[in-house]
Amino acid sequence: MPWSSRLDAVAPFRVMSLLESAQAREAAGHDVIHLEVGEPDFPTPAPVLAAGQQALARGQTRYTPAAGLPALREAIAGHYARHFGAEVDPQRILVTPGASGALLLASQLLVEAGDRVLMADPTYPCNRHFMALAGAEVDVVPVGPASGWQLDAELVARHWGEATRLAMLASPSNPTGHMLDAAGLAAVAETVAGRGGALLVDEIYQGLCYELAPLSAAAVAPEAFVVNSFSKYFGMTGWRLGWLVAPEAAVEPLTRLAQNVFLAAPTPAQHAALAAFSPECRELLEARRGELQRRRDALLAGLAGLGLAPDLPPQGAFYLWLDIARYSRDSEAFCRRLLEEENVAITPGTDFAVHGGEHHVRIAFTTDIARLEEAVARLGRFLARQEGG
């Protein structure tokens, strides 16, 4: 029996195969440095763990409303007001099973067969795949230093077509770590609205910003659909919890979709996440953000010594997007050899970029500085052999 043709639009996530190979090398006794997966080495914050344990002890394991615990929706709205100056009605917030659940809802609501979606290239591959599964065609727009590695208003205007219905941004982005500022976000929102389209903004790495202050599209583009997550800034990857901010008119159909697609987000995770907004937890999370910035700076310094630092340092998230064209035009082979020869695991750019992925790699600075420095030393040895060979 043939599988559904919609699967043809979903490419494998190559980093998972590389992670499997790296873990196999570890099991065989090799000292592997993991810089491939987007998950820092920090544990879930203690206040969140305690709140989750208390919820389980109280038996809070039944379904919540499809849109999430009212108290959690109110806490998220308070988070927007305190830190981003955005007044968001809690009723416009839907709590979802991870940001993936939010993307699923948004894609099913906003596009259908024959529609076209604008998206930056490179970007997180699942963003493309969600749209394809909804039947839409994705028009990837190559971005680079000239636009700050972002899909800006000029690019949106240039590439918007008759069948375009949606533009999707990611700020800070995966894999480049670059951001749009308030003026840039507002300009994109105005451009999209002027063409009668919808704007979807991925803010999964929102709290992890360095030189620029964190910013939300909810503050400058109230009609935008905004996706966020408890995974990255809040350190709750395995709890599978995210949210979607939607315009008021979209709440009812989105809730109807949620009721049918996943019923509700995990109940213990929702109770645990209430503690993520406490002052105690905020202090810890900000300390972790500072540590990630120090890791970024240490990695940039080491790569500069190899002549490999990016022209534009990442402003957020925990990734570096590196051009390796000087050494290879086959990023998958490059990453495979680096793992086999030096036990350093990084991600091939072909996971993220339709154009140029073959000569880019992504490095996640998700381990401590000593390990990052060791990884740079191993990478230096590897590159020296490429030049010598």
Are residues 68 and 100 located together in one domain of the fold? yes
Counting DSSP H helices and E strands in the chain, the numbers are 13, 12
Residue 205 shares a structural domain with residue 326 = no
Mean pLDDT of the chain: 95
Q: Are residues 127 and 212 in the same domain?
A: yes
Q: How many domains does the chain have?
A: 2
pLDDT at 112 over 60: yes
For residue range 117-174, list pLDDT tens digits in order: 999 999 999 999 999 999 999 999 999 999 999 999 999 999 999 999 999 999 999 9
The two structure tokens encoding residue 137: 């065609």
- Structure token pair of residue 244: 């979607």
Question: Residue 168 has which token pair?
Answer: 């999707």
The CATH number linked to 375 is: 3.90.1150.10
- Asked if residue 307 and residue 274 are part of one domain, the reply reads no
Q: Determine the 3-state secondary structure of 208 from DSSP.
A: coil
Cα 213 from chain centroid (whole Å) = 18
Confidence of residue 239 (pLDDT cuts 50, 70, 90): very high
Phi, psi of 21 (to 5 degrees): -65, -40
Question: Is 90 exceeded by the pLDDT of residue 37?
Answer: no
- Over residues 104-118, mean pLDDT: 97
The two tokens of residue 314 are 């990442």
- pLDDT higher than 60, residue 53: yes
Same domain, 9 and 129: no
- Tell me: do 27 and 175 sit in the same domain: no
pLDDT value, residue 252: 98
pLDDT digits (tens, 9 = 90+) for 328-363: 999 999 999 999 999 999 999 999 999 999 999 999
* Residue 347: closest CA among 29, 10, 126, 17: 17
CATH number (domain holding residue 230): 3.40.640.10
Last residue in a domain, options 248, 278, 308 = 278
> Three-state SS for 115?
coil
177 token code pair = 């770590």
Distance CA(191)–CA(69), nearest Å, equals 35
Helix (H, G, I), strand (E, B) or coil at 10: coil
Pick the last residue of a domain from 278, 302, 329.
Answer: 278
Same domain, 220 and 293: no
Burial of 132 (0-12, 13-18, 19+ CB in 10 A): buried
**pLDDT for the residue 388:** 57
What distance in Å separates the CA atoms of residue 249 and residue 75, rounded to the nearest whole number?
22
Q: Where are the alpha helices (DSSP H) in 86-142?
A: 98-110, 125-133
> Which strands, in side-by-side order, build the sheet including 116-121?
93-96, 242-245, 225-229, 198-202, 164-170, 116-121, 137-142
Same domain, 35 and 53: no
3-state DSSP helix/strand/coil percent for the chain, to nearest 5? 50, 15, 35
For residue 359, give its domain range: 5-43+281-387
Q: Are residues 215 and 302 in the same domain?
A: no
- Mean pLDDT throughout 27-50? 95
Of 278, 306, 339, which marks where a domain is finished?
Answer: 278
- The residue with tokens 């086999």 is 340
Give the sign of the dihedral formed by CA 193, CA 312, CA 83, CA 130. Answer: positive
pLDDT in tens, 256-313: 999 999 999 999 999 999 999 999 999 999 999 999 999 999 999 999 999 999 989 9
If asked whether residues 182 and 209 sit together in one domain, one would say yes
Note whether 252 and 134 are same-domain residues. yes
pLDDT over threshold 60, residue 389:
no
With tokens 């727009």, the residue in question is 141
266 plus 304 within the same structural domain: no
Weakest-pLDDT range from 246-250, 280-284, 382-386? 382-386
Percent of the chain having pLDDT more than 90?
91
* Mean predicted confidence (pLDDT) in 240-253: 98
